[in-house]
């Protein structure tokens, strides 16, 4: 069972360091340029996540929430900006991405940020997770890539905090996977659109 936690609206008053603002602006420019030539169907609806707000939320979580440990996982990390932010905040961050082209961009981000983020090419869904979906056409299903967990020797329940930006209509599925496979006490942060950050904790 998972419980929703309110994120105070005042977190948007948190100071974002100047250097981080500049890094985010540069990454948004790279994402925009990339989108102009990427031809996958989902990308037509894609709006980049609000990385400033995510920095504010992650710094608030780190300061105020009980965390099971220091491991942070970005499901479908794309450009790995959020994993880089988490790493800058002191988390041991891992990003999993199925698309090689995106993972290359993620590696570039990690280099530019000079953060020790581990990037893994693979499927972020744990074995057996696909059966939790009530719609077989969800974009995160059916990836042929190897399980990322087998490659890193960790399971989903080894992570204290998981972040995802689900494609539209996938948020319930992400929550169900977290509920089934995360450790009791772990947290899930979802970006579901501008000003729509959702935070969950799996009940012990
Ligand atoms: C909406 S984008 C979010 C990108 C990034 N997390 C962010 O917040 O900016 C979703 C990402 O998840 C990746 N993805 C979707 N399903 C996946 C799966 N089963 N395993 C690994 N990556 C997946 C997609 O390729 C895409 O990069």
Beta bridge partners of 119: 95
Segments forming the whole domain that contains residue 160: 2-202
Q: Under 8 Å CB-to-CB from 195, ≥6 apart: which residues? A: 50, 53
DSSP symbols for 38-62: ---GGGGG-----HHHHHHHHHHHH
Ligand 1 contact, 126 CB (< 6 A) = no
What separation in Å is there between the alpha carbon of 99 and the centre of ligand 1? 8
Q: Residue 46's pLDDT is what? A: 74
List the residue whose alpha carbon is closest to atom 11 of ligand 1: 76
Do residues 133 and 157 make contact, with C-beta atoms less than 8 angstroms apart? no
What's the CATH code of the domain at 165? 3.40.50.150
What separation in Å is there between the alpha carbon of 202 and the centre of ligand 1? 22
Ligand 1 contact, 99 CB (< 6 A) = yes
Q: What is the pLDDT of residues 109-153, one digit of tens each?
A: 999 999 999 999 999 999 999 999 999 999 999 888 899 999 999
Do residues 3 and 185 make contact, with C-beta atoms less than 8 angstroms apart? no
Q: Residue 118: enclosing H or E segment and its boundaries? A: strand 118-121
Q: What is the pLDDT of residues 150-188, one digit of tens each?
A: 999 999 999 999 999 999 899 999 999 999 999 999 999
Alpha-carbon gap, residue 66 to 51, rounded angstroms: 23
Q: Under 8 Å CB-to-CB from 17, ≥6 apart: which residues? A: none
3-state helix, strand, coil in the chain (%, to 5): 45, 20, 40
The total number of structural domains that make up the chain: 1
Mutate to test the pocket of ligand 1, among 76, 79, 129 (most ligand atoms within 8 A of CB): 76
How many CA atoms lie less than 13 Å away from 91 in the CB half-sphere?
30
**What are the strands, taking DSSP E only, across 122-165?**
161-164
Q: Residue 105: enclosing H or E segment and its boundaries? A: helix 100-113
pTM for this one? 0.97
Ligand 1 contact, 109 CB (< 6 A) = no
Q: Residue 45's pLDDT is what? A: 63
List the residue whose alpha carbon is closest to atom 14 of ligand 1: 76
Q: Residue 42's pLDDT is what? A: 57
Confidence class of residue 191 from pLDDT cuts 50, 70 and 90? Answer: very high
| Ligand 1 atom, smallest distance to 99 CA | 25
Q: For residue 20, with 0-12 CB atoms within 10 Å meaning exposed, 13-18 middle and 19 or more buried, which class applies?
A: middle
| Diameter over CA atoms, the chain | 45
CA angle 5, 199, 30 (to 5 degrees): 155
Confidence class of residue 25 from pLDDT cuts 50, 70 and 90? Answer: very high
Ligand 1 contact, 123 CB (< 6 A) = yes
What separation in Å is there between the alpha carbon of 98 and the centre of ligand 1? 7
List the residue whose alpha carbon is closest to atom 20 of ligand 1: 123
List the residue whose alpha carbon is closest to atom 2 of ligand 1: 165
């Amino acid at each position: 069972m998972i419980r929703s936690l309110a994120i105070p609206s005042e977190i948007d008053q948190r100071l974002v360091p100047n250097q981080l603002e500049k890094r985010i602006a540069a990454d948004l420019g790279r994402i925009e340029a990339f989108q102009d030539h990427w031809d996958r169907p989902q990308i037509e609806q894609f709006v980049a996540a609000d990385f400033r707000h995510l920095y504010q939320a992650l710094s608030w979580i780190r300061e105020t929430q009980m965390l099971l440990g220091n491991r942070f996982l970005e499901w479908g990390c794309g450009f790995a900006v959020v994993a880089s932010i988490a790493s800058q905040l002191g988390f041991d961050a891992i990003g999993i991405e199925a698309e090689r082209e995106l993972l290359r961009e993620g590696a570039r981000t990690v280099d530019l940020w000079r953060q020790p983020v581990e990037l893994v090419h693979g499927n972020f869904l744990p074995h057996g997770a696909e059966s939790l979906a009530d719609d077989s056409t969800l974009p995160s299903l059916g990836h042929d890539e190897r399980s990322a967990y087998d490659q890193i020797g960790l399971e989903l329940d080894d992570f204290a905090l998981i972040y995802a930006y689900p494609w539209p209509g996938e948020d319930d599925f992400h929550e169900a996977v977290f509920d089934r496979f995360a450790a009791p006490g772990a947290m899930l942060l979802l970006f579901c659109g501008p000003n729509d950050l959702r935070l969950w904790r799996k009940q012990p």
